[in-house]
């Protein structure tokens, strides 16, 4: 049964820094056979105000509801939109609303969106760490990025330097997702799958570490390089797409979650690497 409270009413909007606004909504995931209400994980979008002209970078779009559109209008002009292979489903809402925005995305995603009839007038495909968007696109000086080349959804880690904040999609969950369900009238303790996932999917639980090691990173060598690089940013806060905000201790949490990669001396078996690489092709399909 669907929730009688509208998605607009369930959306939580919060300013956490002069330049950072977060937008949270409920979201169910890992649903077999289209069973939507399987595991509550929540979703979150971040708006970064880039400069005094109030240009905005939107990271990981979520369904555009009137309260989000109104808030964005009040804080500035959407200039860039970033999505990855795991967080692109709501991009179409924003192309219609902000037709002049530039899409920043990993290789293959723009073609996938085009096949769905979603067309940007301008796009920057962010393939590796030699051509980061902050070097080539105007106004991104407050950010530093790192592409996780060996992670199946081809995600990018965004470091907002003035606030020492890491913004990312699926690289680190921080369950429970209480804020994302705070206006739904639903509990993240209800249901065995949701309850278990909300207890275990956080960076200090070995279950999350196992998931990142076995199900997400297919190239251990590049994962190691990228995890070490990110650990040197020395961020305090983490804004995850799934789970609650982490307001301090972010770098320690990152080092713990990625410790197996950071300390790794050998990779996965070639069979497992190929299996995970195949998963990325499914995401691009
Ligand atoms: Fe995700």
In the chain, what's the furthest Cα-to-Cα distance? 52
What phi and psi, each to the nearest 5 degrees, are found at residue 175?
-70, 155
- Written as six digits, the tokens of 45 are 């979008």
Which residues partner with 77 through β-bridges? Answer: 55
In the reported structure, the alpha carbon of residue 241 is separated from the centroid of ligand 1 by a whole-number distance in angstroms of 6
In the reported structure, the alpha carbon of residue 201 is separated from the centroid of ligand 1 by a whole-number distance in angstroms of 12
Has residue 65 got a pLDDT over 60? yes
Task: Say how far apart CA 272 and CA 275 lie, in whole Å.
Answer: 5
Has residue 170 got a pLDDT over 60? yes
In the reported structure, the alpha carbon of residue 53 is separated from the centroid of ligand 1 by a whole-number distance in angstroms of 31
In the reported structure, the alpha carbon of residue 151 is separated from the centroid of ligand 1 by a whole-number distance in angstroms of 12
CA atoms within a 13 Å half-sphere pointing along the CA-CB vector of 174:
22
In the reported structure, the alpha carbon of residue 150 is separated from the centroid of ligand 1 by a whole-number distance in angstroms of 16
183: closest CA among 2, 24, 30, 21?
A: 24
Which residues partner with 156 through β-bridges? Answer: 147
Has residue 36 got a pLDDT over 60? no
Domains in the chain, ordered, with CATH? 7-284 (3.60.15.10)
In the reported structure, the alpha carbon of residue 87 is separated from the centroid of ligand 1 by a whole-number distance in angstroms of 6
Give the tens place of pLDDT for each residue, 84-135. Answer: 999 999 999 999 899 999 999 999 899 999 999 999 889 998 877 888 999 9
Contact 119, 96 (CB under 8 A): no
In the reported structure, the alpha carbon of residue 283 is separated from the centroid of ligand 1 by a whole-number distance in angstroms of 12
Give the tens place of pLDDT for each residue, 192-202. Answer: 888 888 888 99
Give the tens place of pLDDT for each residue, 197-231. Answer: 888 899 999 999 999 998 888 889 999 999 999 99
In the reported structure, the alpha carbon of residue 242 is separated from the centroid of ligand 1 by a whole-number distance in angstroms of 7
Q: What is the pLDDT of residue 12?
A: 98
Burial classification of residue 88, based on how many CB atoms lie within 10 Å of its CB (0-12 exposed, 13-18 middle, 19 or more buried): buried
In the reported structure, the alpha carbon of residue 243 is separated from the centroid of ligand 1 by a whole-number distance in angstroms of 10
pTM for this structure? 0.92
Give the tens place of pLDDT for each residue, 175-198. Answer: 999 999 999 988 888 888 888 888
Contact 125, 110 (CB under 8 A): yes
In the reported structure, the alpha carbon of residue 229 is separated from the centroid of ligand 1 by a whole-number distance in angstroms of 22
In the reported structure, the alpha carbon of residue 172 is separated from the centroid of ligand 1 by a whole-number distance in angstroms of 9
Mean predicted lDDT score pLDDT of the chain: 91
Q: What is the pLDDT of residue 35?
A: 57
In the reported structure, the alpha carbon of residue 52 is separated from the centroid of ligand 1 by a whole-number distance in angstroms of 31
In the reported structure, the alpha carbon of residue 86 is separated from the centroid of ligand 1 by a whole-number distance in angstroms of 5
Task: Say how far apart CA 55 and CA 144 lie, in whole Å.
Answer: 17
Torsion of CA 102, 107, 266, 175, to 10 degrees: 50
Task: Say how far apart CA 4 and CA 244 lie, in whole Å.
Answer: 24
In the reported structure, the alpha carbon of residue 29 is separated from the centroid of ligand 1 by a whole-number distance in angstroms of 8
Task: Say how far apart CA 153 and CA 192 lie, in whole Å.
Answer: 27
- Written as six digits, the tokens of 202 are 């956080």
């Amino acid at each position: 049964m669907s929730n009688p409270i509208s998605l607009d009413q369930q959306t939580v909007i919060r300013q956490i820094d002069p330049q950072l606004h977060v937008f949270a909504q409920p979201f169910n995931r890992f649903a077999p056979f289209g069973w939507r209400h399987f595991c509550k994980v929540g979703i979150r979008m971040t708006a970064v105000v880039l400069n005094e002209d109030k240009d905005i970078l939107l990271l990981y779009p979520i369904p555009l509801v009137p309260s989000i559109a109104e808030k964005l209008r009040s804080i500035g002009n959407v200039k860039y939109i970033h999505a990855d292979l795991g967080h692109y489903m709501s991009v179409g809402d924003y192309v219609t609303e902000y037709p002049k925005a530039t899409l920043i995305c990993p290789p293959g995603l723009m073609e996938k969106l085009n096949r769905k009839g979603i067309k940007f007038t301008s796009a920057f495909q962010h393939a590796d760490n030699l051509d980061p968007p902050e070097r080539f696109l105007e106004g991104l000086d407050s950010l530093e990025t790192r592409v996780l080349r060996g992670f199946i959804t081809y995600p990018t880690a965004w470091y907002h330097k003035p606030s020492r904040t890491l913004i990312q999609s699926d690289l680190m969950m921080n369950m429970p997702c209480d804020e994302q369900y705070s206006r739904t009238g639903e509990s993240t303790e209800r249901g065995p799958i949701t309850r278990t996932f909300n207890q275990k999917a956080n960076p200090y639980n070995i279950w999350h570490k196992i998931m990142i090691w076995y199900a997400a990173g297919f190239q251990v060598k590049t994962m190691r390089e990228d995890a070490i690089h990110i650990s040197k940013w020395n961020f305090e806060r983490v804004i995850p797409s799934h789970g609650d905000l982490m307001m301090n201790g972010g770098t320690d949490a990152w080092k713990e979650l990625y410790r197996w990669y950071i300390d790794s001396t050998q990779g996965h078996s070639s069979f497992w690497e190929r299996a995970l690489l195949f998963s990325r092709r499914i995401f691009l399909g």
